[in-house]
Amino acid sequence: MNTGLLWALVFFTTFQFVGSSNRKLFLPDHSYHNRKPPSGRIYETETSSLESCAITCYEDDRCASFFHGPQHKCIGYPKVPFPPSDNLTVEMGWDVFRHAEKNDVPAEKNDVPAEKGWSLVGEKYYFVSHSKLNWTRAKDMCASMGGYLLEIESESEANATDELVMQRSERADYWIGAMYSSNSNQWTWVNSGNEMVYTRWVPGQPSDDGFADCVDIAWAWDRTTAWDNTPCSDSKMFLCEY
Ligand SMILES: *[C@@H]1O[C@H](CO)[C@@H](O)[C@H](O)[C@H]1NC(C)=O
Ligand SMILES: *[C@@H]1O[C@H](CO)[C@@H](O)[C@H](O)[C@H]1NC(C)=O
Ligand SMILES: *[C@@H]1O[C@H](CO)[C@@H](O)[C@H](O)[C@H]1NC(C)=O
């Protein structure tokens, strides 16, 4: 099972985490894995993936933890204590994630192996979404999985991204972690804070229309990708890395 796809952030954003109580960061709660979901649920639904199960909880203000299990059943719970896990019936195939608490021990970066939704390319792990979110939500979603929106700082990273994206059978645009900073009047990688050095804009981009402040990569027909600036409120697939 996809035990660790979602887990807390943490190794590099502890400060943001402590500072912003509204963020939902999910940690796997291993003691509840393979336990039958208890009563007290706020919703039960079927989702297409663990990722969309997490998004369902993420988008529901009442939801603090969720069970994800066989046939992608997805069950959300409010922030109330569960019965001790030992009191629950064993039922295989369930993974449990809960909203991280301030005193949680940060998960280790290498706790998330490739088979849990991330692909290892070179020295970095990459995640290609199956869902569309606006840029801000996509950024938060990457963070809730322990990463950040993809930053492409070299031609070889851009080539590696092409390969990842081209594995998808359908053409789509993907958010990456760049934004126009009106403070510095520069296109900036938001996680590292670095200015863009390497770029791969679609010819004629970035357009200067004042509201298209976020960057996505578009899949061109020659099986390469190029960058485009579009409004941050658009819904697009997204790419995370860590
Ligand atoms: C859990 O099981 C123990 C022992 O069977 C029982 O004493 C306790 O009340 C149970 N706790 C809950 C929350 O059901
Ligand atoms: C990136 O891909 C292009 C086109 O396939 C190739 O010409 C170029 O050498 C590659 N660059 C790197 C650094 O791998
Ligand atoms: C993204 O969506 C969320 C929730 O719908 C909203 O609060 C946020 O303002 C949106 N962000 C942008 C840039 O549109």
Q: Is the pTM of this model over 0.95?
A: no
Domain ranges of the chain: 14-110, 118-241
Q: What is the dihedral of CA 37, 49, 96, 147, to 10 degrees?
A: -160
118-241: CATH number: 3.10.100.10
The first and second tokens of residue 69, run together, are: 């299990």
For ligand 3, mutation pick of 22, 56, 233 (most atoms within 8 Å of CB): 233
- Can you give the pLDDT of all 242 residues of the chain as single tens digits? 333 333 333 222 222 333 333 345 677 787 888 999 999 999 999 988 887 888 888 888 899 899 999 988 999 999 888 888 888 999 999 988 887 665 554 444 444 433 456 777 777 888 888 788 899 989 988 877 778 999 999 999 998 888 888 887 778 899 999 999 888 889 999 999 999 999 999 888 898 877 899 999 987 766 678 899 999 999 999 999 88
Query: Is the beta carbon of 87 within 6 A of some atom in ligand 1?
Result: yes
16 vs 10: CA distance, rounded Å: 9
Query: Is the beta carbon of 211 within 6 A of some atom in ligand 3?
Result: no
Specify whether domain 14-110 bears CATH 3.50.4.10. Answer: yes
Distance in Å, CA 137 to ligand 3 centroid: 7
pLDDT given for residue 100 in this prediction:
66
In a 3-state reduction of DSSP, which class is residue 194? coil
pLDDT given for residue 102 in this prediction:
53
Instruction: Using alpha carbons, select from 124, 32, 135 the residue that is nearest to residue 87.
Output: 32
Atom of ligand 2 nearest to the CA of 162: 2
102 vs 104: CA distance, rounded Å: 6
